[in-house]
Amino acid sequence: MTKTPYVIILLWFSMYYGFGQVGIGTTTPDNSAILELNSTTQGLLLPRMTTNQRNAIVSPAEGLLIYNLDSGCFQFYTGTSWSSCLGATSTNRLDCGSVNSNGSYIAGNPLTNSNTITVDILVNSIDTYNIITNTVNGYSFSASGIFSSLGINTITLIGSGTPTANQTDTFTLNFTGTGTTCNINITVAQNFANCLDYLNAGFTTDGIYTIDPDGAGGNSAYDCYCDMTNDGGGWTLVFNHNLAGGYWVNDLEAHEHNAGSPGLTTNKYSILSRLDEIKNNMDYEFRLHYPTLGLTNHWSQSFDPRSGRSGTNPVPRYTPIHIDMPNGGWGGLELSGSTNYLGGSIGWFYSYFSIGHNNDWYSGIPAEFSATDRVQLFIR
């Protein structure tokens, strides 16, 4: 029984030193280390994971250290975000998990500054850079310059050339002098003459699309706003008037204005001059929409509304499809008398539906015996 106090004292010292310091591969860990590893044949292997797996860690602790498989380097959590790469050398590296392509790629259409590839560079040393791709299917990408800061720099490679065939192309990004490369696939689509072509090819999101109505002809492709969701979709915006931008100066302005800035946010936008090249069928299929009123007329007509007055009501081969505004002599679109804006009040002295109206009409744009602040015209 007299040995019991000594056993307790030994256990107490064992617990104190056991929890105070730990040595693996050594019985005498350094006094400054809570944990010392000692081996001449093995190393310490930290958790290895992809960027997505890293981002999925719930409430990471400040100082948490991992090895990023995508970036090929160690990273730690700063308390608010993950650090840039930690490396033993000053090598700058591509982050292949960040590569993205931008813009539309259509066979026969030359690339513009909107056709780009972006990639993140893990910069450990401020230096010049040169990144180029191989040439595939008639086009390629490149970028050069000087890094702006340490850490992650997003670099934009500008495309050049003209895709020649409808296919999926694989590009390899070569970071000159580092030996690092990344791959990305870009699909070249068929030529699209209007928004309906895009819809038929499976594009269903409203927005800006590049169209080329004459295909391989001499006219350049251009951007248009496409409504892919209303009344069956596939509508090309040809006219947008918001009174915030004022009235039209004259009929010339109302027939083509701000053609390079398509969209519902451009207060005065018109490509009425291009109706014939955009329409899908022999007839003109229109959608006249007043957003503030929530009213829409959807119809087709064979009569070119820019050619003059038809002399009949409705205009030749007028076919109503869905008409919210049947009053005011509605029967399609035509030039309204000598004023040279498109009106829908066929045979009436006043135009109660107006496209390109150039003066105030009871404080607004005419819309079936009333006035509103904006009007949109689409064709399909």
Domain ranges of the chain: 4-37, 93-187, 195-379
Residue 216: its pLDDT value, please?
66
Which one is the CATH code of 195-379: 3.90.215, 3.90.105, 2.30.30, 3.10.110?
Answer: 3.90.215
Element at 68 (helix H, strand E):
strand 65-68
Give the residue-averaged pLDDT of 253-272. 96
Q: 221 vs 184, which has greater pLDDT?
A: 184
* In the predicted structure, residue 65 carries a pLDDT above the cut 70: yes
Other Cβ atoms less than 10 A from the Cβ of 243: the count is 17
Fold category of 93-187 in CATH = Immunoglobulin-like (2.60.40)
> Poorest-confidence range of 105-119, 281-295, 357-371?
357-371
Confidence band of 331 (pLDDT split at 50, 70, 90): very high
DSSP string over 249-271: SSHHHHHSBSTTS-STT-SEEE-
Percent of the chain with pLDDT over 90: 55
pLDDT at 42: 87
Q: Which residues contact 234 (CB under 8 A, 6 or more apart)?
A: 194, 195, 196, 198, 199, 200, 226, 227, 228, 280, 380
Average pLDDT, whole number, for the chain? 88
pLDDT category, 184, cuts 50, 70, 90? very high
Task: Give residue 108's pLDDT.
Answer: 73
- Render pLDDT for 198-235 as a digit per residue (tens, 0 to 9): 999 888 999 999 898 987 677 888 999 999 999 999 99
- pLDDT of 189 reads 76
Contact 257, 274 (CB under 8 A): no
Burial of 378 (0-12, 13-18, 19+ CB in 10 A): buried
| Residue with tokens 């310091």, as numbered in its chain | 21
Answer with the residue of higher pLDDT: 257 or 166.
257
Q: How far apart are CA 274 and CA 280, in angstroms?
A: 12
Distance of CA 191 to the CA centre of its chain: 20
Confirm whether pTM is higher than 0.75: no
Quick one: pLDDT at residue 260?
A: 95
The pLDDT > 70 percentage for the chain reads 91
pLDDT for residue 25: 81
Query: Region 338-347: what's the mean pLDDT?
Result: 77
86-95, 141-150, 260-269: which range is least confident on average? Answer: 86-95
Condensed to tens digits (0 to 9), the pLDDT of residues 18-60 reads: 456 887 888 888 888 888 888 889 888 889 999 899 999 999 9
Identify the pLDDT of residue 171.
Answer: 98
Q: How confident is the model at residue 363 (pLDDT cuts 50, 70, 90)?
A: confident
> Ranked by mean pLDDT, which of 1-5, 6-10, 84-88 comes out on top?
84-88
Average pLDDT over every residue of 51-80: 89
